[in-house]
Amino acid sequence: MLRSPDLPRSGTLAARKAHADARATRADELDRWLTGLLGPEPHVALVAVGSHGRRDLTPGGDLDLVLLHRGRSKAPGDGLGDRDRAHLTGPADRPDAGGPSGLDVLDAAWARHVAEVADRIWYPVWDSGLRLDHSVRTVHEARTVARDDLKAALGLMSARRIAGEQSLVDELRAAVLADWRADARRRLGELSAMTRERWETQGELAFLLEPDLKEARGGLRDVHVMQAVAASWVAPAPDERVRAAYRLLLDVRHALHELTGRAADRLVLQEQEAVARAVGLLDADMLLRTTAEAARTVTYAGDHVWRHVDRFCAARGRNRGRGRPERRPLADGVVEHDGEAVLARGADLTDPALVLRIAAGAAQAGLPLAPATVNRMAEDVPPMPVPWPAEARDALVALLGAGPPAIPVWEALDQAGLITRLLPDWERVRNRPQRNPVHRFTVDRHLVEAATGAAALTREVARPDLLLVGALLHDIGKGWPGDHSRGGAVVARDMGARMGFGERDVGVLEAMVRHHLLLPDTATRRDLDDPVTIRAVADAVGGHEVLELLAALSLADGLATGPAAWGAWKAGLVDELVRRVTAALSGRAVPRAPEPSPAQLALARHGGGAVRVVGTRITVVAPDRPGLLWRAAGVLALHRLVVRTARGVLPAQGGDGPTAMIEFTAVPEYGTPPDPALLEADLRRALADRLDVAARLERRAGAARVRPGAVVPPPRVTILDDASNTATVIEVRAHDRPGLLWRIGRAIGACGLQVRAAQVDTLGANAVDVFYVVGEDGAPISDTAALDAVRQRILKVLR
């Protein structure tokens, strides 16, 4: 049996039934009212299309009506004026009135009568405040419009008689459907292009924090499209599971319209808690999980429909007369049939490993699993024994090792409930939202993306099987409270043992999950030149094998998260950290930071202040003075440069006394880097106290307003006692804003401390800045009261 959406039962069904009943009641009331407006009229029918035609009209939905009539032909120019012709579509001076509908030339008296009937309906609807889309057509005109306008054709396929002559509506529906089927190859090709363009614009509903319930992929519109494809007889109609998902999304849309009083279909963050309560769900997270479940059901079914469409549109008669499609063996128990992986005739359905073996065969061949095959396995294949047999474990590795083609295969198994049958702990992360714009996917999809992305790195590690499974499990702890790395390590140990890995391999998987953030966090938030940093990482990983696996996992995890979480800058830092830790684990001397280049030394002899820009590296030299690092950082912020790292490289002797050199890594917020000459000029002004950095940064910060309803956690300042032997390390987590490094550095300077180095990591709107600071004597600060004062000073400027 296919699984049904895992919705909480308490209160949900009653709330959703109330919305369904409200829509049905409203449809009945509108029908009675509109029937009264039309009255007894021969040769005329009032037809609902769109959401009211489906009896799905939500509180903010448009009323879409067609006045259908039998035209009476008349010679051109005989008694039918422009005003009469315009009347047939409603008054043109109405802001929402439609344009002329290309009517036949009609008997003038009949035309005036139809116009009067139209006025009798449209005016009361407008006066009621309802939003109305309307037209007046003969059957021939409506059929002609449907032939030329894809959206009109889709609407007319849902036409429902409200009042008037039933035969007119039957004639219209029969004509539109006959044309649709006769020209199915062209029209479905158009529909496919239009749908994919919409997906590209709106994104995928299941993975959006603020999805459009109607237009996003997996939303309500996709079900309407599937129904249109089914009307062409090219693919089957949506099944009950899809219809249940549709009703759920419709109920959420209904609640959103009711609560907001408007027709917007985007489920924005500030409305989610109220909408969740309105549909009987616990909270906003459960709402997103529930809508994601429904959307993925729609998307999965839609993918199957579009495969039918693609085969139909590509065929063009090539296979006529060739008999049934050939069955080509792929692996033990699985064959290719008509572009899908299906069960072989002799497949052993008593073998518990069959599910993973067939899934691996499909993914390795780059084919989708046939829905009938998935259903059969879900019904007949017995549960996997614990621990798994080696064959099943190897099949899982082969499945993940297929790379991106494994994703739709995994989704097919998940839709049938087979993944949670194999891995019961997976249920805790299924459809779990990640309320961080850096993440593109729900937790479960992110894990699959990371694992299939790691397939490209299997040649780089000694144990590709542990890399793939570790990537699949690295965030499994997000389904439990507390630190997801620590909690996930415990879950990964249990899951590794369940899969049949040996004790040593289970320990490696546990270490991978426990430390999956170690390399990127250390590389971006610690001083790589500090021996304590390198030793701490070496002690945590324990050996080359885990380090090698974590390096590959960091890359796969970052790429699966999204472009904001991974880039060349972070990749370079992680590579450098791995190089140094490898040396430490091998007993070799840890590579030292590179000495200043001749060009940098020449720049250091430049008196008064100079700036050199090479790619993302910005070198600043200036007369040594307290607070030089953060003052220079403020100047960079004024020029819209985002600082990633900052380090005092080497004090040197310039023409006018001691000169400090600071090496920044910075990237433009957008556009091209600023002119070094302008940077240098502003730096000189700032050092001479002739540039009001504070005022200019405050103006920029004021322009970057926080969106209403956005969650902004309070800042946090932590003193890290064991991160360095040569400096005090202060970690600051705060909402990102222009010049944040400058503000924090100024607060530290006001306490009489010097910033020796800074590491900056920004994930979406969240900044994690780490400062290596020393006192006036160049040593770490040990006075607890002094450290608390620094902490409070930083918090004050952040608040």
Q: Name 190's Cβ contacts closer than 8 Å, sequence gap at least 6.
A: 150
Q: Which amino acid is at 793?
A: R
Q: Judge whether residue 598 has pLDDT over 60.
A: yes
CA distance 375 to 372: 5
Q: Can the peptide bond before residue 531 be classed as cis, meaning omega within 30 degrees of 0? A: no
Q: Among candidates 30, 84, 65, 87, which has minimal Cα distance to 169?
A: 65
Tens digit of each residue's pLDDT (9 = 90 or more) over 96-138: 444 444 444 457 888 889 999 999 999 999 999 889 999 999 9
pLDDT value at residue 325: 65
Beta bridge partners of 720: 729
**Helix 220-231 with 284-315: angle, nearest 10 deg:** 30
**Segment of 19-28, 552-561, 599-608 carrying the highest mean pLDDT:** 552-561
Give me the pLDDT at residue 431, please. Answer: 96
The domain over range 594-691 is classified in CATH as 1.10.3470: no
Return the bridge partners of 217, or none: 204
pLDDT digits (tens, 9 = 90+) for 283-304: 999 999 999 999 999 999 999 9
Exposed, middle or buried, 476 (CB in 10 Å: 0-12/13-18/19+)?
buried
The better pLDDT of the pair 215, 670 is held by 215
- Residue 538 and residue 585 in contact, taking contact as beta carbons nearer than 8 Å: yes
Apex 441 CA angle, 291 and 710, nearest 5:
75
**What CATH code would you report for 39-182?**
3.30.460
pLDDT value at residue 621: 83
Backbone angles phi, psi at 725, to 5 degrees: -95, -10
Token pair for 719:
């003193």
| The two structure tokens encoding residue 130 | 């309802």
* Same fold? 39-182, 594-691: no
The pLDDT of residue 95 is above 50:
no
Sheet arrangement for strand 340-343: 327-331, 334-337, 340-343
**Which of 70-74, 135-139, 645-649 is predicted least confidently?**
70-74
Average of per-residue pLDDT values in the chain: 87
Q: What angle do CA 555, 556, 562 make, to 5 degrees?
A: 90
Q: Could you give the CA distance from residue 248 to residue 5 in angstroms, rounded to a whole number?
A: 10
What confidence score (pLDDT) does residue 788 get?
93
pLDDT per residue as tens digits for the range 154-183: 999 989 999 999 999 999 999 999 999 999
Q: Is residue 321's pLDDT more than 50?
A: no
Residues ≥6 apart with Cβ < 8 Å to 33: none
Q: Is the pLDDT of residue 85 over 70?
A: no
334-338: long-range contacts, CB 8 A cutoff, minimum separation 24: 334/358, 334/361, 334/362, 336/365, 336/367, 337/370, 338/311
Q: What percentage of the chain carries pLDDT values higher than 90? A: 60
Q: Is the pLDDT of residue 340 over 70?
A: yes
Taking only the tens place, the pLDDT of each residue in 654-668 is 445 567 788 888 888
Pairing type for strands 617-623 and 610-614 reads antiparallel
pLDDT of residue 102: 41
Confidence of residue 682 (pLDDT cuts 50, 70, 90): confident
Q: Could you give the C-alpha distances from 214 to 167, 268, 273, 565, in angstroms and in order?
A: 32, 13, 19, 29
In the chain, domain spans: 39-182, 185-315, 428-592, 594-691, 693-799
Please state, in angstroms and rounded to a whole number, the distance separating the CA atoms of residues 154 and 188: 11
The DSSP secondary-structure symbol of 67 reads E
How would residue 799 be classed by pLDDT, with cut points 50, 70 and 90?
confident
pLDDT at 328: 85
CATH architecture for segment(s) 185-315: Up-down Bundle (1.20)
Pairing of strands 340-343, 610-614: unpaired
Taking the C-alpha atoms of residue 130 and residue 26, their distance in angstroms, rounded to an integer, is: 13
Tokens (6 digits) for 167 = 């035969």
Mean per-residue pLDDT, 497-508? 97
Whole-model pTM over 0.75: yes
For residues 5 and 291, give the distance between their C-alpha atoms in angstroms, rounded to a whole number: 9
pLDDT greater than 60 at residue 529: yes
Q: Which of 246-255, 598-607, 680-689, 742-751 has the lowest mean pLDDT?
A: 598-607
pLDDT tops 70 at residue 72: no
Closest Cα to residue 194, out of 309, 293, 340, 97? 309
Q: Which CATH class is domain 693-799?
A: alpha beta
- State the pLDDT at residue 435: 84
So what's the pLDDT on residue 622? 81
Please give the helix or strand (H or E) that residue 340 lies within, else none. Answer: strand 340-343
